Amino acid sequence: MANTATGLDEQILETAKDLFINKGYHGLSMREISDALDVSKAALYYYFKDKEELFLAILKVYLDDMSEALDRIQSEAAPRREQIRHFIEYVLAQPSKQRATIRLASQEIVHLTPKARKAFAALYREKFVGKVQSILQQGMDGGEFREIEIEVAVWALLGIMFPYFYPTHSGDAPLPNEVIQEVATIFLNGICK
């Protein structure tokens, strides 16, 4: 696969992401992807050796974007409470297709080979979960958050946001700000002193 997503490989990633979101991992074939792109299967296989590699590439692009956003959020001179709020705002303010990528990862990753799942889990921890854990840990260390089990708090945070990873809540539009703020308030008031 090319190192940067430009041209056809970018189109492949976007089109395949939409198809994976709508059909799931097992419900989609490389032929369907090539047909949707109006390219040959050979052209598709030039960029991605198989469906699993393509699926992982889609998830990696999302994790890279999430990692950059979390780096920006962590560099803010803001209390950790506000950093968590900004993280929630960042995730939930995205169009539903972007939010659905998180759902796609959590629901469809089980269909991959053990090696691919392990590679994804390492990336997920490094680029996403680990950074959220870091914000929470810094908040505890600074006395902003009460003592909590960090891993449980991260999964609780993702759990409270998970229903909004489905497009039925807002169609293709971002969620209304009132909903985003309410989600943030409910989570934060559960962990703050």
Low-confidence spans in the chain with pLDDT less than 70: 1-6, 167-173, 191-193
Share of the chain above pLDDT 70, in %: 92
Residue 4: predicted pLDDT? 45
- The whole-angstrom separation of Cα 29 and Cα 31 is 5
Residue 2: predicted pLDDT? 40
Q: Structural domain boundaries of the chain?
A: 56-191
* 73 SS3 class: helix
Contacts of 138 (CB under 8 A, 6+ apart): 80
Q: What is the CATH number of domain 56-191?
A: 1.10.357.10
Q: Is 130 exposed, middle or buried (0-12, 13-18, 19+ CB in 10 A)?
A: middle
Task: Please give the distance of CA 162 from its chain centroid, rounded to a whole number.
Answer: 11
Residue 177: predicted pLDDT? 86
Share of the chain above pLDDT 90, in %: 61
Tens-digit pLDDT profile for residues 5-57? 458 889 999 999 999 988 989 999 999 999 999 999 999 999 999 999 999 99
Can you say whether residue 24 is alpha, beta or left, with left for phi > 0 and alpha for psi between -120 and 50 degrees? left
Compute how many other C-beta atoms are within 10 angstroms of the C-beta atom of residue 143. 8
The pair of three-digit structure tokens given for residue 110, joined into one six-digit string: 């089980």
Overall pTM surpassing 0.75 (yes/no): yes
- The whole-angstrom separation of Cα 173 and Cα 159 is 21
